[in-house]
């Protein structure tokens, strides 16, 4: 197969585990904050018209449940082992989550689906050649080439677009131009052209990494190309973060992939061989059941719609897996415990629940002010009260929605009085 590329097992393992672990934390820290708006007022537009015909109406509980389940599978795959079935499930759940609604229009979320599909084709044994690594490199190269091609416009080539993109750091950048003896206009133009060239270099390097695995002997030229692309990727994406671009964790994913995919052969294999490998623990039924129960309870304590359903599914699924495979039963139990624990700790450390509930409360209170039907108005006022109470429960220091909560409670009391009269 044209995408086949023989790679060191260490490189493939680090790529797969890093992507899956980052995906889980990305879901917990970033993706779920806007989940309350999915299916709001029974309205939704999917990314594909045919999907609206097939899928149920998205809801916060369904959306959150799907992504929490994907994150549990991802943690297990990152820390223990992954199977073709589990990786396919993660890719499917993640892809449905963004495809189900235009609420999610982050382009790197689409790219992550391609990466997850590529992980399905990663070989399970050292020295095997399968299509996964080639698919990862091809998808990434196409993304960089397209990004470079899309900048072949006068506004970009002339520096005007980059000047706008970098407006938060414009003074620092123009100070650098001055130090280099460049005029601002010429400096921005030169930087814009440099961005295009770097993106072409990075794309070529990913193709070089794929070709490197198809050659029977090492190629010094491909090694140099990959290292140059790695350095270009690091500088490009670290620079994007320095500019303060609002692109989620895209830069972090690409920095990690740059190092893992493009680094010289031997490094990741050496580290992989030095790492201790997980071994199946002796089965202990009471301890296994306790760990599964604690992991499921941790998911319930996340206190978001859909979390209870995921906890039940994970708990029952864990018990079934343990019964079917006693050799790995203890590993399943430890995996569920660690996934639930990491999930709960992440939500405790982040503002995700605060954002979710305050956004939900704000949306409900605004709709309540607009609807005319008394029953609908009360329904949205009650939803706003519940959401604001939850938001206050998870508010970071110095933040609160108490003022908004009291205002909605006052309006709700007035509506009760009006109905009684």
Separation between Cα atoms, residue 239 and residue 252, nearest integer Å: 11
34 with 83, same domain: the answer is yes
In a domain, 59, yes or no: yes
So what's the pLDDT on residue 228? 97
366 with 331, same domain: the answer is no
Separation between Cα atoms, residue 13 and residue 19, nearest integer Å: 10
In a domain, 304, yes or no: yes
238 with 324, same domain: the answer is no
In a domain, 410, yes or no: yes
Separation between Cα atoms, residue 330 and residue 197, nearest integer Å: 51
309 with 372, same domain: the answer is no
290 with 406, same domain: the answer is no
DSSP β-bridge partners for residue 129: 6
In a domain, 171, yes or no: no
Separation between Cα atoms, residue 161 and residue 148, nearest integer Å: 14
So what's the pLDDT on residue 267? 87
Residues of the chain with pLDDT under 50: none
So what's the pLDDT on residue 129? 64
So what's the pLDDT on residue 170? 83
265 with 367, same domain: the answer is no
Look up the domain containing 53 and give its range. Answer: 5-153+196-274
Among candidate residues 280, 274, 392, the one with its CA nearest the CA of residue 330: 280
pLDDT (tens digit, 9 = 90+) per residue, 3-35?
777 788 889 999 999 999 999 999 999 999 999
359 with 325, same domain: the answer is no
In a domain, 160, yes or no: no
So what's the pLDDT on residue 375? 86
- Degrees to nearest 5, angle at CA 336 with 70 and 58: 30
55 with 137, same domain: the answer is yes
215 with 299, same domain: the answer is no
In a domain, 212, yes or no: yes
So what's the pLDDT on residue 125? 64
So what's the pLDDT on residue 128? 64
203 with 93, same domain: the answer is yes
DSSP helix/strand/coil, 5: strand
pLDDT (tens digit, 9 = 90+) per residue, 215-253?
877 789 999 999 999 999 999 999 989 888 888 899 999
15 with 42, same domain: the answer is yes
270 with 201, same domain: the answer is yes
225, 244, 274 — which closes off a domain?
Answer: 274
So what's the pLDDT on residue 279? 67
In a domain, 170, yes or no: no
So what's the pLDDT on residue 126? 61
Averaged pLDDT score across all residues of the chain: 90
228, 252, 274 — which closes off a domain?
Answer: 274
HEC letters along 96-112: HHHHCCCCCCCHHHHHH
Among candidate residues 360, 404, 414, 301, the one with its CA nearest the CA of residue 68: 301
For the chain, the domain total comes to 3
253, 274, 295 — which closes off a domain?
Answer: 274
Q: What share of the chain is helix, strand, coil (3-state, %, to 5)?
A: 75, 0, 25
In a domain, 241, yes or no: yes
């Amino acid at each position: 197969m044209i995408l086949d590329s023989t790679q060191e097992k260490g490189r493939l393992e680090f790529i797969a585990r890093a992507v899956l672990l980052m995906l889980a934390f990305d879901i917990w820290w970033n993706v779920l904050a806007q989940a309350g708006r999915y299916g709001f007022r029974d309205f939704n537009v999917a990314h594909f018209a045919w999907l609206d015909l097939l899928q149920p109406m998205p809801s916060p509980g369904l959306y959150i449940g799907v992504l929490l389940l994907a994150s549990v599978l991802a943690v297990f795959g990152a820390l223990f082992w992954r199977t073709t079935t589990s990786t396919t499930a993660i890719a499917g759940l993640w892809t449905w989550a963004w495809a189900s609604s235009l609420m999610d229009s982050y382009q790197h979320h689409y790219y992550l689906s391609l990466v997850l599909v590529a992980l399905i084709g990663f070989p399970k044994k050292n020295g095997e050649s399968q299509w996964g690594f080639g698919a990862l490199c091809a998808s990434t190269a196409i993304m960089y080439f397209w990004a470079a091609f899309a900048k072949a416009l006068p506004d970009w080539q002339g520096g005007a677009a980059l000047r706008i993109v970098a407006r938060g750091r414009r003074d620092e950048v123009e100070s650098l131009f001055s130090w280099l003896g460049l005029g601002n206009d010429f400096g921005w133009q030169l930087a814009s052209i440099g961005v295009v060239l770097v993106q072409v270099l990075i794309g070529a390097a990913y193709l070089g990494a794929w070709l490197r695995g198809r050659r029977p002997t090492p190629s010094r030229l491909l090694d140099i190309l990959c290292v140059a692309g790695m350095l270009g990727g690091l500088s490009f994406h670290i620079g994007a973060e320095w500019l303060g671009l609002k692109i989620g964790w895209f830069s972090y994913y690409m920095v990690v992939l740059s190092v893992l995919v493009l680094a010289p052969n031997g490094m990741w294999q050496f580290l992989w061989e030095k790492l201790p490998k997980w071994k199946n623990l002796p089965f202990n039924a009471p301890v296994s059941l306790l760990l599964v129960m604690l992991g499921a309870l941790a998911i319930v304590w996340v206190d978001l719609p859909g979390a209870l359903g995921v906890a039940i599914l994970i708990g029952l699924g864990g018990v079934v897996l343990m019964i079917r495979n006693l050799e790995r039963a203890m590993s399943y139990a430890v995996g569920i415990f660690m996934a639930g624990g990491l999930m709960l700790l992440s939500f405790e450390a982040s503002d995700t629940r605060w954002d979710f509930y305050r956004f939900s409360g704000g949306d409900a209170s605004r709709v309540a002010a607009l609807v005319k039907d008394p029953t609908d108005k009360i329904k949205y006022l009650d939803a706003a009260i519940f959401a604001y109470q939850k938001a206050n429960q998870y508010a970071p220091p110095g933040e609160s929605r108490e003022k908004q909560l009291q205002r909605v409670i006052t309006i709700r009391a007035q509506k009760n009085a009006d109905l009684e009269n």
